[in-house]
Amino acid sequence: MKKFAGVILAVVTLILCFTLSACGNKYVSRYNATLMVRTNTSNKASVTFDSFSGTYVIKLKNKSADEVFVDYEGALGEGNIKVYYDFNNEKLNLFDIETDGSVDGKTETFTGNKTIYIIIESDGKCNDGSFLFVLEKSEK
């Protein structure tokens, strides 16, 4: 009986380990890139690349109850990229950028202690890109 209980405990532990580890990744990065430099802290993220193809996901975290927004800027030498954001389980278009394009702006205001996902998706191979996302406190 002890062996049977030990086997059941081991199986339940393995199931819990696999189940809990899969829950944290809402979006998955899948890309090919050359000369890619990335930084990502809780309130600031940047990515610069020579060439890029695929999807790259950034997580920013509002650690307080303050109202915040994401200030962003980007430039692309060649290709097409769509950038989305997700705050309340809804993936929304932030901006599109094409060959020799640049963009800067800010998102809507977010409230609450939550994660904000930024999703960068290319439409084929892109070259000479640079993106910066900064979480800023909203002025009241």
- Domain membership of residue 33 (yes or no) is yes
The reply to whether the predicted model has a pTM over 0.85 is no
The confidence score (pLDDT) of residue 19 equals 47
Domain holding 36, by residue range, is: 25-137
- Give the pLDDT confidence score for residue 6 in this predicted structure: 67
Structural domains counted in the chain: 1
The answer to whether residue 6 sits within a structural domain is: no
Domain for residue 94, yes or no? yes
pLDDT of 140 = 59
CATH number, domain at 41?
A: 2.60.120.260
Report the alpha-carbon angle 106-29-109, nearest 5: 20
**110 HSE (CA, 13 A, CB side):** 24
E strand or H helix that includes residue 81? strand 81-86
Tens digit of each residue's pLDDT, the chain (140 residues) = 667 666 666 666 656 555 444 445 688 999 988 988 988 888 899 999 999 999 999 999 888 778 888 999 999 999 999 999 987 788 899 999 999 999 999 988 877 768 889 999 999 999 999 999 998 888 75
